Structure formats: structure tokens, C-alpha cells
């Protein structure tokens, strides 16, 4: 314990950080006074969050499909499939989920980006975990299909995701 606390003290963890806390308090007060619901969402943090989100996208294989060629096309349809497309899962450990200012879910982000290029693109949103015959027909008839998968805290957390570490 002595070595642990010595290391923590030497890193400055317990130093007085009054200048930082005063600046943060002033910023939060100014944003609250201006009607901002999310006082910690500074332009720098929003820019960093966008950069991290861009880096976090994973594409397993492209085969020339992306980017979608929607510019100037008439009667172009996109089906977005998956229950997680409307979720706003921003992390369990320290991220508050109640402030939704500046939040855009996956469905909104995809639709907004594509409609900037071609506002005539038609979207079908399939949010059920079980596909119906109608859903399958929509998927077959779409020009492009985007599948959104993921997990949330109801079954993906330290105390819920696995009952054992045995593989």
C-alpha cells in the first residue's frame, strides 16, 4: 500500500488543481447561463469525439461497394437493418446517458450524410431482431443494405457478459 500511495502521490494525483477546477466551474456556469444542457461538451471535446467516432468504424470487407454511389440517382433505396441503429450507447462506466444535446444515433447519422448528397434517397428502417417476410422483401429490393449490430449494458458488462473465463 505504501508503494502504491507513493506512486500515486508522485504522479500528482492528489495535487491541488484549483486553477483547473475554477476554469471548469466558470465554463459550466457560462454554458448553463447560455442555455446549454451539456456544459462539458466544449467545441474541443465535440471535435475529439467526432474524430474518435470516425476512427472507431470497422469495415470487414469492401469489395468496391463503399462509398455508396447515391449522387444524382433517382429511386435509390437503402435499408438499415438492426435493433441498435437508434440506440445511443455511449459507455457505461463514466458516461452519463441523460444529456442528449449533440447526440446523433447511427440511423440519423447515416440518413443525414446520405441525404446531404441526395435528398431523394428512400430509407427503410428495420429495427426488429426478428425479420418478417415483409422485412426480407424490403432487404431484397433495396439498392443497398446497411446492417447495424452491437450490444448494450443489459447483457454486456463486467457482471453480465460471461459467467466464466473458460473458453
Task: Name the pLDDT band for 122 (thresholds 50, 70, 90).
Answer: very high
What would the mean pLDDT of 137-163 be, rounded to a whole number?
79
**Overall average pLDDT of the 141-159 stretch:** 78
Mean of pLDDT over the chain: 79
Question: Is 0.85 topped by the overall pTM?
Answer: no
C-alpha span between 77 and 138 (Å, rounded): 9
Percent of the chain with pLDDT over 70: 75
Q: What is the pLDDT of residue 62?
A: 81
Query: Are residues 41 and 101 in contact, defined by beta-carbon separation less than 8 angstroms?
Result: yes
Task: Give the integer Cα–Cα distance in Å for 144 and 141.
Answer: 9
- Given a cut of 80, is residue 164 above it in pLDDT? no
pLDDT given for residue 66 in this prediction: 82
The distance from CA 99 to its chain's CA centroid, rounded to whole angstroms, is 14
> Average pLDDT, stretch 40-50?
77
By CB atoms closer than 10 A (0-12, 13-18, 19+), residue 121 is buried
Amino acid at each position: 500500500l505504501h508503494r502504491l500511495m507513493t506512486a500515486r502521490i508522485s504522479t500528482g494525483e492528489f495535487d491541488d488543481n484549483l486553477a483547473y477546477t475554477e476554469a471548469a466551474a466558470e465554463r459550466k456556469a457560462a454554458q448553463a447561463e447560455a442555455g446549454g444542457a451539456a456544459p462539458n461538451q466544449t467545441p474541443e471535446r465535440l471535435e475529439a469525439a467526432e474524430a474518435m467516432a470516425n476512427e472507431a468504424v470497422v469495415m470487414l470487407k469492401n469489395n468496391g461497394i463503399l462509398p455508396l454511389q447515391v449522387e444524382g440517382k433517382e429511386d435509390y433505396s437503402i435499408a438499415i437493418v438492426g435493433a441498435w441503429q437508434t440506440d445511443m450507447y455511449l459507455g457505461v462506466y463514466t458516461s452519463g446517458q441523460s444529456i442528449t444535446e449533440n447526440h446523433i444515433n447511427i440511423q440519423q447519422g447515416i440518413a443525414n450524410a446520405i441525404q446531404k448528397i441526395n435528398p431523394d434517397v428512400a430509407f427503410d428502417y428495420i429495427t426488429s431482431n426478428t425479420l418478417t417476410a415483409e422485412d426480407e422483401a424490403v432487404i431484397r429490393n433495396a439498392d443497398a443494405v446497411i446492417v447495424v449490430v452491437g450490444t448494450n449494458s443489459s447483457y454486456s458488462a463486467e457482471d453480465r457478459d460471461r459467467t466464466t473465463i473458460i473458453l
